[in-house]
Structure 1
């Protein structure tokens, strides 16, 4: 057997012989084996070199290719977008907490807002709807400007009756119509006069050939434009004799005052009858007076109109006139289609406020003047509405121009017991509507504060209050004036 055919381990096991002897006896076999080993090592090195060295291209025979899976990209979860940074609130240090605790204010509610920024600076129960007293006249006025517009005028007309010699006086809701002769100025400056209406009727009657030889002998009073009841359940009947409120009818004269020239004057139990008697007298002759309805399509003989809404609002606000406020509220309700009675005022007034874009949640409307304790409006609503009034948005500048002014020449804030003493520092800077009912006092409006910041506010003192609640309200309002934008809610 040739040793070339022997396995390598057999060669190694030959006794007494080393590697050198084996190499010497079989040099060819060893050279071939060494070459194979070198070749194997070289090929392996080429694989590693091919992976590690750019540009090396090992032969296909010497490269073992292992498929490498493509890694799946890991997408980190989206981070939530950070909320807009909250602007740091100004540190305000002017506190009125002590004044707010004044026992004269009883159940105290208030809200004060920076009219330039809309930021609420002070709040005590500002979102709770409560009795407003006469501050409600601002709400009624805003609804009237929205529904009726500043140029609307209420008309009182006379039409031909169904019978020979008959005319019908149709009340159109003008409660300012005066029985004083033209040339004599009633309390409601610029009001229409019954004698003017009567003169027109006489002229038209005489000009109609059909009336030739037919005397005017019958007067019918049509008051159907408003429906009853004429008195709200929440009003004390004493308001009639005290001279603060008439029964609400579509036909009456001078707000049914005994004295047409005075603001406060006793009212009657029959405003319609008083108006009818006055008109019959103005017509002259023997005229019988009855009540009924005008014939459909009857020819109009005469008409007079009230002052425009813009003027009526100023007359109502400056001295807190209940009559005009009720007149406007009812006209808003009728014109908006809500109805013509007290029960329709909620829909009419609140609906009329919708265009201002302020949340009316909680508002309860029982009348237009605020005399009913059942009315309810949150101070917040006044504060927000007065921002628009102060900015004279739309027609709301009419309200600002009609507001009483602290220390002013006239109006309910010009009285000697308002903004007196130390509170007089705010004279000329507080433009606000006052309010008073038996269980509360209110004040709502605009303050041009000492630091130049326009503030809007509403203050309620409700419950077991006395007349001195007015002075407590003035005092805290003056404090708002002094604090301005530094007013603290603490």
Structure 2
């Protein structure tokens, strides 16, 4: 194992392996050092969301009557999965078409609106506050299509192609959502203007649609490593806890959720986003394996994560990993991948050759993408072969 853990492709390596049933640390290399996680951060975000929001929570998008004649207000509830058409890459989405159908019926049912078109659509994205883009993120993630700006009102994860995993995102997700709603309303709003604003308290509801449950969205975010969906879950968790609605709210919200619900020591965690896209996030391999012990044991609602993790050579971001000689672990490794410019990470559960269940977290820092992934995969195969005989020597 030492040869695998010192492979050149790993560059700077940190890692921990535990016996899942006992929590015993079988292997450790700087496992107490806190470093950037890349997309493995989504495991922390998802664990917090499942505890705070619950697996059955659904996100609402609402339309209410405006304060002036001919005006309606489209109120974003944070649902990035809302579909502009009949479908998109997400599962069981709410659609603008359904929302528009409700609004047109409510509009027509009011005698005061007889012969009056909808002339103004107010776009209310005020649920989320602060910057739409984390200052440590590279804008190439937006233009090349892995990540959208974080807004409370958008459609299709703001993808130009709703059915493509990676697709360029816009500079104005809120306006794109407004245009989709206007189009769905058809002739009743053909001349409507779109303006930014907020709904009045107590305004009459004209229509509401709801997202798939959090359990579905968590599994999507993990399986496909969807940055935008993860940021939504993080922001909604902070709002539910009353900690705020901006990037700066996430440190307190996610750490308190992990501590209060799972008893984890969060004193050294640094959380600046929900997706792991930032180099400024900091988590240790030891922390991750402790959390994965709880995920493997299905503590609370964490079984949702266990059931949604990518499986080696079968699903999600592991569907193309562990090839050739490494295919011996196919179906035996379930884990979250992570890749950013300065880090490759892999963390999850291994059902070892001898029947032992192991939890692991490996960080390959300052490595190249291909070399880092290959070295991480080979190391994971190594712990599969060792099982309970794994030694720290």
More strand as a share of residues: 2
Match of 2:123 among 221, 233, 240: 221
Equivalent residues of 1:135, 1:444 under 8 A apart: yes
Q: In structure 2, what is the Cα distance between the partners aligned to 1:189 and 1:464? A: 34
The match for 1:297 is 202
Quick check: 2:145–2:169 contact (8 Å CA) kept in 1? yes
1:423 to 317, 326, 342: 326
Q: Which residue of the partner structure matches residue 438 of structure 1?
A: 341
Per the TM alignment, residue 465 of structure 1 is displaced from its structure 2 partner at its CA by 3.1
Q: State the Cα distance separating 1:215 from its structure 2 match.
A: 2.4
Q: Could you tell me how far apart the structure 2 residues matched to 1:464 and 1:396 are?
A: 31
Listed as ranges, the matches of 1:38-117 within 5 Å are 96-117=1-22
Aligned residue-pair number: 389
The 2-side partners of 1:215 and 1:487 are apart by 71
Contact 2:339 2:369 (C-alpha < 8 Å) held by counterparts? no
Structure ranking higher on relative contact order (CA contacts 8 Å, 6+ apart): 2
Contact conserved, 2:91 with 2:216, CA < 8 A, in 1?
Answer: no
Distance 2:324 2:117 in 1: 66
**Structure 2 counterparts to residues 146-295 of structure 1, below 5 A:** 146-180=51-85, 182=86, 185-284=87-186, 285-295=190-200
Q: Please give the TM-score of this superposition, normalised by the length of structure 1.
A: 0.78
Give the superposition deviation at 1:189: 2.0
Q: Match for residue 316 of structure 1?
A: 221
Structure 2 residue 24 is matched with structure 1 residue 122: no
Question: Residue 160 of structure 1 contacts residue 298 of structure 1 at CA under 8 Å; is this kept in 2?
Answer: yes
In structure 1, the gaps of 5 or more residues are 1-95
Once residues 118 and 405 of structure 1 are traced to their aligned partners in structure 2, the CA distance between those partners, rounded to angstroms, is 22
Partners of 2:252 and 2:328 in 1: CA distance: 41
Contact 2:344 2:367 (8 Å CA) reproduced = no
Bigger CA radius of gyration: 1
8 Å contact kept, 1:114–1:485: yes
Q: Contact 1:245–1:323 (CA<8 Å) still a contact in 2?
A: yes
d(CA) in 1 for partners of 2:21, 2:257: 25
List aligned pairs for 1:260-409, cutoff 5 A.
260-284=162-186, 285-354=190-259, 355-408=261-314
Runs of 4+ aligned residues of structure 1 deviating over 3 Å after TM superposition are none
CA deviations on 1:58-87 (whole Å, 9 max, x unpaired) are xxxxxxxxxxxxxxxxxxxxxxxxxxxxxx
Residue 486 (structure 1) aligned to one of 381, 389, 393: 389
Once the two structures are superposed, what CA deviation does each residue of 1:177-235 show, in whole Å capped at 9, x if it has no partner? 1111x3xx311121111011011001011112332343221110001000121000111
Contact 1:104–1:466 at 8 Å: present in 2 too? no
Q: Rate the CA distance shift 1:291–1:236 in 2: closer, same or farther, 3 A.
A: same
Equivalent position SS for 1:219: strand
Q: Secondary structure at the match of 1:467?
A: helix
Which sits farther off after the overlay, 136-145 or 283-292? Answer: 283-292
Cα distance in 2 between the residues matched to 1:214 and 1:277: 20
Give the deviation of 1:392 after TM superposition: 1.1
* Whole-angstrom distance in 1 between the partners of 2:156 and 2:367: 34
Give 3-state SS (helix, strand or coil) of 2:166's partner.
coil
Q: Is the 8 A contact 1:179 1:253 kept in 2?
A: yes
Structure 1 residue 464: Cα displacement: 4.1
SS of the aligned residue for 1:310 comes to helix
Describe the superposition over 1:402-429 as per-residue Cα deviations: whole angstroms up to 9, x where unpaired.
1001111x211111xx111211111111
Q: TM-score, normalised by structure 2?
A: 0.97
Question: Partner of 1:412: helix, strand, or coil?
Answer: helix
User: Unmatched 5+ residue regions in structure 2?
Assistant: none
Residue 461 of structure 1 is matched in structure 2 by: 364
**Quick one: distance in 1 between partners of 2:91 and 2:237?**
22
Deviation at 1:293, TM superposition (A): 0.8
Give yes or no for contact 1:133–1:436 (8 Å, CA) kept in 2: yes
